[in-house]
């Protein structure tokens, strides 16, 4: 079987490796404040400038469309992954580098995870949180060896960060697993942290250490 360069890279342990492909979870709505749209645009622009491939939910609406367009305008590559049911509603972005249409929301998350080296959540609602926490759980269980980041725009994720800290204090999350979720208010700084993050308690292949 012939392997492409990307396939070889994905078989390597990600700890400390260069971030080449980032899954971004974000709202299909633009949000009430302009800062959400502005920050989504900054994320897309920086990904394009840094030659980090954007993997996202494939829509052209809300913050999803903003981040994708900004990345494309900066010369970046963008892969959208969208279920057929949503594509049929004409919300799919047709100007992407690649658009993958899948059968279900479950398949969407699996494909996005396979294509990405780390995950970044921008402000969003239930769908964004679902995608973020499933990715976090997979890393906690050793199914994958990847880190997640929260971009805390306008204090949007203050309560979620506080809840994660309380879960540690109450004995529901280990300190090492709490480290799987990075958070920052600065886009460039958070991308740098994701680029250099080491997943605690795992080794190559995503297997938990003893």
Measured between alpha carbons, how far apart are the two ends of the chain, in Å?
A: 33
Question: CA-CA distance, 153 to 183, in Å (whole number)?
Answer: 10
Q: Indicate whether 146 pLDDT > 90.
A: yes
What is the average per-residue pLDDT within 61-89? 96
Handedness of CA 139, 176, 129, 189 (dihedral sign): negative
Classify 25 as helix, strand or coil.
strand
- pLDDT of 14 above 90: no
Helix (H) or strand (E) holding 87: helix 84-87
Quote the pLDDT of residue 5: 37
Backbone angles phi, psi at 171, to 5 degrees: 85, 20
Q: Among 49, 20, 44, 17, which residue's Cα sits nearest to residue 187?
A: 44
Q: DSSP code of 52?
A: P
State residue 15's pLDDT score.
Answer: 39
On the question of pLDDT at 133 being above 90, the answer is yes
Q: Taking residues 185-198, what's their average pLDDT?
A: 92
To the question of pTM greater than 0.75 for the whole model, the response is yes
At residue 199, the pLDDT reads 61
Within 8 A by CB and 6+ apart from 166, the residues are none
User: Quick one: pLDDT at residue 200?
Assistant: 55
Average confidence (pLDDT) over 36-62: 97
Report all structural domains of the chain as residue ranges with CATH numbers, in order of start: 19-197 (3.40.50.450)
**Which pLDDT score is estimated for 196?**
87
- Could you tell me the pLDDT band of residue 88, with boundaries at 50, 70 and 90? confident
What average pLDDT is seen over the chain? 88
The per-residue pLDDT for 8 is: 33
Model confidence band, residue 85 (pLDDT cutoffs 50, 70, 90): very high
């Amino acid at each position: 079987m012939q392997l492409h360069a990307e396939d070889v890279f994905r078989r390597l342990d990600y700890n400390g490796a260069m971030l080449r492909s980032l899954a971004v979870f974000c709202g299909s709505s633009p949000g009430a404040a302009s800062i959400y749209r502005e920050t989504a645009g900054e994320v897309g622009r920086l990904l394009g400038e840094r030659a980090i491939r954007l993997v996202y939910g494939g829509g052209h609406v809300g913050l999803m469309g903003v981040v994708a367009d900004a990345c494309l305008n900066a010369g970046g590559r963008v892969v959208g992954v969208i279920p057929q049911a949503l594509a049929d509603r004409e919300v799919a972005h047709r100007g992407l580098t690649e658009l993958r249409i899948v059968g279900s929301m479950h398949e969407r998350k699996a494909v996005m995870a396979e294509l990405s080296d780390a995950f970044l959540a921008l402000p969003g609602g239930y769908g964004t949180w679902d995608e973020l926490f499933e990715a976090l759980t997979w890393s906690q269980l050793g199914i994958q060896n990847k880190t997640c980041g929260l971009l805390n725009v306008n204090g949007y994720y203050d309560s979620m960060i506080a809840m994660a800290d309380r879960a540690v204090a109450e004995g529901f999350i280990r300190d090492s697993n709490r480290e799987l979720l990075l958070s920052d208010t600065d886009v460039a700084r958070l991308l740098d942290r994701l680029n250099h993050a080491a997943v605690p308690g795992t080794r190559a292949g995503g297997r938990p250490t003893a």
